[in-house]
């Protein structure tokens, strides 16, 4: 269950990073790819940006708990195998599809992301690594349960 532990730690770090973005302000929103509109809204005191980022942080924290549950570090949570499968697919889809979508989509936000391809490549690789840890760890969990 080592891979699910790694996935859980990485996702917990991503959750904490999102909380730090709220505190860090507009430049943090820009650096982490949220876009100029979100950064500007945050700088103007909008609570929307913090709320959206906090919800993302909570979702990531929940996914982390499911990874730790699958790794048997914490108590078994309901629907663990199903949730871990879905989380695996979400991370892998983000890793594989984000760059093509950014290149092919026609919107100001996608154009903004396309101008920061270093961020897109690094974040996509991170998502592929985390998604692979979730997927392989979930596969091991399912084989263990079915053995």
What pLDDT shows up at residue 146?
64
102-112 pLDDT tens trace? 999 888 888 88
- Averaged pLDDT, 37-49: 95
What does the angle CA 52 – CA 55 – CA 56 come to, to the nearest 5 degrees?
90
7-23, pLDDT tens digit by residue? 999 999 999 999 999 99
Q: 47 exposed, middle or buried (CB, 10 Å; 0-12, 13-18, 19+)?
A: exposed
| Beta carbons within 10 angstroms of residue 98's beta carbon | 18
Count of structural domains, the chain: 1
Whole-model pTM: value is: 0.93
115 — phi, psi (to 5°)?
-75, -10
For the chain, give the mean pLDDT.
95
Structural domain of 13? 2-146
The pLDDT of residue 76 is 95
The reported pLDDT for the residue numbered 114 is 87
Span 68-93, pLDDT tens digits:
999 999 999 999 999 999 999 999 99
Supply the pLDDT for residue 147: 57
């Amino acid at each position: 269950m080592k891979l699910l532990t790694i996935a859980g730690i990485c996702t917990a770090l991503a959750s904490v990073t999102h909380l730090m973005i709220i505190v860090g302000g507009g430049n943090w929103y820009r650096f982490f790819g949220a876009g100029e509109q979100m950064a500007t809204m945050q700088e103007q005191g909008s609570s929307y940006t913090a709320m959206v980022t906090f919800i993302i942080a909570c979702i990531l924290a929940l996914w982390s708990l499911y990874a730790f549950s699958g790794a048997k570090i914490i108590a078994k949570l309901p629907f663990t195998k199903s949730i871990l499968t879905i989380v695996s697919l979400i991370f892998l889809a983000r890793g594989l599809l984000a760059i093509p979508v950014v290149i092919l989509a026609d919107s100001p936000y996608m154009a903004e992301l396309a101008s920061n391809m270093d961020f897109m490549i690094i974040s996509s690789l991170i998502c592929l690594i985390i998604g692979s840890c979730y997927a392989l760890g979930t596969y091991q969990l399912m084989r263990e349960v079915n053995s």
